Amino acid sequence: MNKRWVIGVWGTILTGLIVPSITAQTTPLGGVSPQGGGILGSYSNAIPMGKIGLVMSLARVLDIGKAIGAGQASLPHFDLELASKVDPDTDLFAVIGLHSHEGKSEVHIENVYLQRTGLIDGLTIRAGRQFVPFGYMAQLHTELSPFATVPAVTRHYFAEGNLAADGTSIMYTLPVPFYASVQAGSWTHTFPTPVEGFGVTNRMGQYRVVVGSALTDQLEWSGSMHWMNGDGPTFQTQADRVELIGTDFKLDWEWGENLRLTLLGEALGMNRTLGTQTYQRSGGYAAAWISDGMWDYGLKTDWVELPGDTLERVQSVSGILNIRHTPAAVLKIEYKHDTGPTPQHQVAMNYVVALGAHNHPVIR
């Protein structure tokens, strides 16, 4: 364990334990979905004209049955979140990430985009680098994900669990008494290394329809359909075309003073044509958990079908437990049992601390 790792771990733990107890309360973390990142909503004394926040995340995966310490660990991941008002209708948002990649620390711009509202009723335009709002989980920052690990299907399609791309997106909320919005985006993304389904550089078109409403005072649902297609020069010489289609559904049932049951499911499918070859992939996850404001506990299952691959199918069942010991920090624990060709048991832990200006999640 090198010095940098030790400093990172202790820095994150101490920050999580001590700083939240002496700083102000912040927005509850997790269990919700932002519409492309949420809102930074608290003033910072450091930047009079803007807002600044910091999210720190430490992840560790332990393989059960192996020697203590076996498994994968990551250096703490830091996200510096910034927001600033350009004019009354235009905001600038940025997320600068610091994390470890193959043993080296890297600073990279995860998001930097301008958001323009006020042109037409219900219309929001974003331009710049942002998480492509494809699906549910792929647009969440770490602090907003309800899970300690990225679902296999999301990780399979988007290596880091998100797809940050440069482009423009337009979202229009329909003038109807329930929530209905349509969204389209045009994107260019350069991958540092090729990942499943995508080449080194891709141009992508992406479309989404989201609908939601209240069924009763306590029961709300939302669902979306989304499509994405991409092509362009790849690391190989052959023509490459990828189509992704997905759907997700979420149900929130609040009962009692402070209890909420959430059901969340998402399914994704991919068609990739590389030269004359066609590959198909599909997968999804489903989860149910109960929250009381401090504790979340529930179950999750996720799977990926890989026809033609040696693995054929990857599947796991997980117990999930999230503990919010302060409003600014959450410890996510996931006990995961892989039931695929190579069964294994793992415990994944993800500790997230948010300081300063913070996301006010906007459920979609």
49 counts as binding another protein under rule CB under 8 A: no
Size of the site for another protein (CB under 8 A): 56
Q: Given the rule CB under 8 A, which of 1-9, 25-33, 132-140, 340-348 is the region that contacts another protein?
A: 25-33
Choose between 96 and 294: whose C-beta lies nearer to another protein: 294
The single residue among 12, 15, 16, 27 that binds another protein, judged by CB under 8 A, is: 27
355 counts as binding another protein under rule CB under 8 A: yes
Token pair, residue 120, equals: 């037409």
* Tally of CB atoms within 10 A around 198: 25
124 counts as binding another protein under rule CB under 8 A: yes
44 counts as binding another protein under rule CB under 8 A: yes
- Please, what's the b/e burial string for 100-110 (b: 16 or more CB within 10 A of its CB; e: otherwise)? beeeeeeeeeb
Q: Given the rule CB under 8 A, which of 98-106, 128-136, 149-157, 170-178 is the region that contacts another protein?
A: 170-178
The distance in angstroms from the start CA to the end CA of the chain is 41
Choose between 40 and 59: whose C-beta lies nearer to another protein: 40
Q: Given the rule CB under 8 A, which of 101-109, 172-180, 193-201, 312-320 is the region that contacts another protein?
A: 172-180
Least distance in angstroms from the C-beta of 266 to another protein: 16
183 counts as binding another protein under rule CB under 8 A: no
Least distance in angstroms from the C-beta of 177 to another protein: 5
Token pair, residue 234, equals: 């790849």
How far apart, in whole angstroms, are the C-alpha atoms of residue 271 and residue 281?
7
How far apart, in whole angstroms, are the C-alpha atoms of residue 359 and residue 364?
14
Q: Given the rule CB under 8 A, which of 43-51, 63-71, 149-157, 240-248 is the region that contacts another protein?
A: 43-51
How far apart, in whole angstroms, are the C-alpha atoms of residue 315 and residue 153?
10
22 counts as binding another protein under rule CB under 8 A: yes
Least distance in angstroms from the C-beta of 141 to another protein: 16
The single residue among 1, 3, 45, 103 that binds another protein, judged by CB under 8 A, is: 45
User: Residue 313 forms beta bridges with which residues?
Assistant: 305
Q: Given the rule CB under 8 A, which of 133-141, 151-159, 196-204, 206-214 is the region that contacts another protein?
A: 206-214
Query: Could you tell me if 343 and 337 are in contact, meaning their C-beta atoms sit under 8 angstroms apart?
Result: yes
Site residues (vs another protein, CB under 8 A): 21-28, 31-32, 35, 39, 41-45, 88-89, 117-118, 120-122, 124, 171, 173-181, 211-214, 220-222, 252, 257-258, 293, 327, 355-358, 360-364
